[in-house]
Amino acid sequence: MNELLDMGGYAIFVWSSYGIFFFSLVIFFLINILNLRKYEKMYNNTIKKID
């Protein structure tokens, strides 16, 4: 198990790459959720004005 986690001496590069990838995945997901909510509010306001 230690050999798997050590990855032949390249563990710091591999695990930091995984960390950066998943961190950016979460950030992009949150940004998209916030943008979606903003555009939903704009859409709902537009629909209310039309009615």
Give me the pLDDT at residue 50, please.
87
pTM reported for the whole predicted model = 0.70
Confidence of residue 46 (pLDDT cuts 50, 70, 90): very high
pLDDT (0 to 100) of residue 40: 97
What domain range is 33 assigned to?
Answer: 25-51
Tally of domains within the chain: 1
pLDDT for the residue numbered 14: 93
User: At a CB cut-off of 8 Å and minimum separation 6, what does 15 contact?
Assistant: 7
Structure token digits, residue 28: 């992009």
Q: pLDDT tens across 15-43, in order?
A: 999 999 999 999 999 999 999 999 999 99
Alpha-carbon gap, residue 33 to 4, rounded angstroms: 36
**Number of other residues whose CB lies within 10 A of the CB of residue 12:** 10
Q: Which two tokens stand for residue 23?
A: 């961190």
| Structural domain contains residue 35 | yes
- 36: in domain: yes
